[in-house]
Amino acid sequence: MEHKITDIETLKEMWTKTYNTEGNPDWSHILPYYAEDVYFRDTVQEIRGLDKFKEMTERLAKRSKNLKMKIVNALMKDNCVFIEWEMTLSFKKYPNSILYGISRLTLNEEGKIIEQRDYYDLWGDIFDNIPHFGKAYRKFMAKKFG
């Protein structure tokens, strides 16, 4: 079976399956669609190579207990894919937090993901769900950077 991304609907289906509603996330079905020399970056880390990317997905699966992903919008143009998403995370003492983000995927000539760049406000979205702290954080951010 050839693993290449050819259309947005297939990619959305695979992406949604990764964050299943029963148990921890599972990337096993989508990893064959990543190139061996994939480059991944988000607000926390920068990773090069499929082996390191797979290790990162395994760490996330171990830490995450109720991780869900909702695809809001998706667009594919030539070798570039944008996916807007809402990720629900569960933490020990606090209510679920929703992270709002976008992933930009770049496909190589073989239709595999060669680059993934995730954009999201990790701390802002998490702090918004902590009583009293979220408002103070947003006020601080507006004062210093707004």
Which residues fall within 8 angstroms of residue 31, CB to CB, at 6 or more apart? 50, 53, 54, 57
Q: Which pLDDT does position 126 carry in this prediction? A: 67
Domain for residue 129, yes or no? no
Instruction: Sort strands 68-77 and 80-89 into parallel, antiparallel or unpaired.
Output: antiparallel
Is 24 within a domain?
yes
Contacts of 95-103 with CB under 8 Å at 24 or more apart are: 95/129, 96/66, 96/129, 97/125, 97/126, 97/128, 97/129, 98/125, 98/129, 99/125, 99/126, 100/125
- 3 in a structural domain: no
Q: Determine the pLDDT at residue 78.
A: 95
Kindly report the CATH number assigned to the domain that includes residue 44. 3.10.450.50
> How many domains does the chain fold into?
1
pLDDT at residue 23, as a whole number: 60
The pLDDT tens digits for 21-64 are: 566 678 888 999 999 999 999 988 999 999 999 999 888 777 76
- pLDDT tens, 94-145? 667 788 999 999 999 999 999 999 998 877 766 776 677 667 776 766 776 6
Judge whether 144 lies within some domain: no
Per the domain annotation, does 82 fall within a domain? yes
Range of the domain at 109: 8-121
Q: Are 60 and 71 contacting, i.e. CB atoms less than 8 angstroms apart?
A: no
Secondary structure string (H, E, C) spanning 31-47: HHHEEEEEEEECCCCEE
Whether the Cβ atoms of residue 83 and residue 71 lie closer than 8 Å to each other? yes
